[in-house]
Amino acid sequence: MTTDAPPEGPAIEVAGLHKSFGDLEVLKGIDLTVRRGEVVCVIGPSGSGKSTLLRCVNLLEQPTAGKVTVSGTEVTDPDVDIDRMRRRIGMVFQAFNLFPHLTVLGNLTISQRRVLGRGKAEAERLARAHLAGVGLGDKESAYPAQLSGGQQQRAAIARALSMGPELMLFDEPTSALDPELVGDVLAVMRKLADEGMTMLVVTHEMSFAREVADRVIFMDDGQIVEEGPAEQVVTDPQHQRTRLFLARVLDPAAAEVKEVG
């Protein structure tokens, strides 16, 4: 799809990443490598810095220190054309962030046309293919407000895919959804993983992490506490903090009683 850099080496390489907001240090030295085609889930309590880590990969947040390399190009290099790099990095947000003034088709074609310079016909053909892929083939002329949350998030995934990205970042993609709508979005993400897409996913969906991810990373207090094969981290965590977190997430009612008592 793109000729910017040779597709070799790891998809994402994070080294010594620090990020502070004022006096608050959110990331305290993160090292992380995501191989091409790998699906990595990041879990952890809120405020642990996992979303910030994700947002540092495509430089929506400017790291305070450290290096982030995507497909061999250092995105933290001040001289890098970040707009050009972001075309290759799809991002899906917790709040969907579809453009409300455009139809679903318009949402999928606007950057293809304005950023990649594709013609109208080609952009629409690709957009329709991706909409069909997420099960929204009949919604192209709807406005985002006319869609359910689950449909909006699937449209947002299709929007990112229509740029032909090499990897996808998901920032708590199902956290804003009603429980009965989560499944459709996870199914789309699972399909994407099966097709070999490189994915870095911040999520609270433990079953998704266990079944789909190759690797799970547990973050707490701005640091990676534990990482390993998905099955192992989720079902047999080595660290006390991971165990506490998982107990709380998997059985919230029981954990609360313990805390109070």
The footprint of other proteins (CB under 8 A) covers 58, 60, 83-84, 86-87, 89-91, 93, 95, 97-101, 110-111, 114-116, 143, 145, 156, 159-160, 163
Cα(259)–Cα(61) distance, rounded to whole angstroms? 34
Question: Closest CB to other proteins among 99 and 187?
Answer: 99
Sequence-ordered list of residues with C-beta below 8 angstroms from that of 59, at least 6 positions apart, any chain: 68, 75, 76, 82, 85, 86
Which C-beta is closer to other proteins: that of 8 or that of 83? 83
Please tell me the distance from the alpha carbon of residue 124 to that of residue 1, in angstroms, as a whole number.
17
Report, in Å, the least distance between residue 113 CB and other proteins.
10
Q: To the nearest whole angstrom, how small is the minimum distance from the Cβ of residue 243 to other proteins?
A: 34
> What tokens appear for 52 in the block?
């910030």
Give the Cβ contact number of residue 25 at 10 Å: 15
Shortest separation between residue 154's beta carbon and other proteins, angstroms: 15
Phi and psi at residue 3, in whole multiples of 5°?
-115, 15
Q: Are strands 24-34 and 12-21 parallel, antiparallel or unpaired?
A: antiparallel
* CB 4, min distance to other proteins, A: 11
Tell me if 19 sits within 8 A of 52, measured CB to CB.
yes
Q: Least distance (Å) from other proteins to the CB of residue 49?
A: 18
CB of 56 to other proteins, least distance (A): 13
Residue 92 or 206: which CB sits closer to other proteins?
92
What torsion do the CA atoms of 165, 169, 172, 174 make, to the nearest 10 degrees? Answer: 20
- Shorter beta-carbon distance to other proteins: residue 152 or 242: 152
Tell the residue number behind the tokens 């805390």, with chain if given.
Answer: 259
The residue among 62 and 238 lying less far from other proteins, judged by its C-beta, is 62
198 versus 242: smaller Cβ distance to other proteins:
198
